[in-house]
Amino acid sequence: MSQASNGARIVRCPGCGGPSVYALENVHRPFCSARCKNNDFGAWASEGYSVPVDADLPPPDIDLDTDRGDTQPH
Ligand SMILES: [Zn+2]
């Protein structure tokens, strides 16, 4: 009785930690519901967009002299 009749698996919902039906009929899988899915995504988005960007890094030291060897038009 631990397995659904359609072969669906019960997984742990990443949102609430509760049981979630991992099947095609569960469009929110692996989440148990849209609420958990939205909550998890909201938390991820709010944290993901706060990643600091190293804008102070100097540009890579590109050797431009390699392009100066052939400046004549064809
Ligand atoms: Zn849940």
User: Is the overall model pTM greater than 0.85, yes or no?
Assistant: no
Give the Cβ contact number of residue 59 at 10 Å.
5
Ion ligand 1, residue ranges at CB < 5 A:
13, 15-16, 32, 36
Q: Scan for tokens 């979630």, then name that residue.
A: 20
Q: Which amino acid is residue 66, in one-letter code?
A: T
Q: How far is CA 70 from CA 4, 35, 62, 64, 66, in A?
A: 72, 62, 17, 12, 9
Compute the distance from residue 20 Cα to the ligand 1 centre, in Å.
Answer: 7
Compute the distance from residue 23 Cα to the ligand 1 centre, in Å.
Answer: 14
Tell me the domains of the chain and their CATH numbers: 7-44 (3.30.50.10)
d(CA 30, CA 7): 15
What's 65's DSSP letter?
G
- Does the pLDDT value for residue 17 go beyond 80? yes
pLDDT tens, position by position, 36-68: 998 865 665 665 555 556 667 777 777 767 666
Range of 1-10, 13-22, 35-44, 51-60 with top mean pLDDT? 13-22
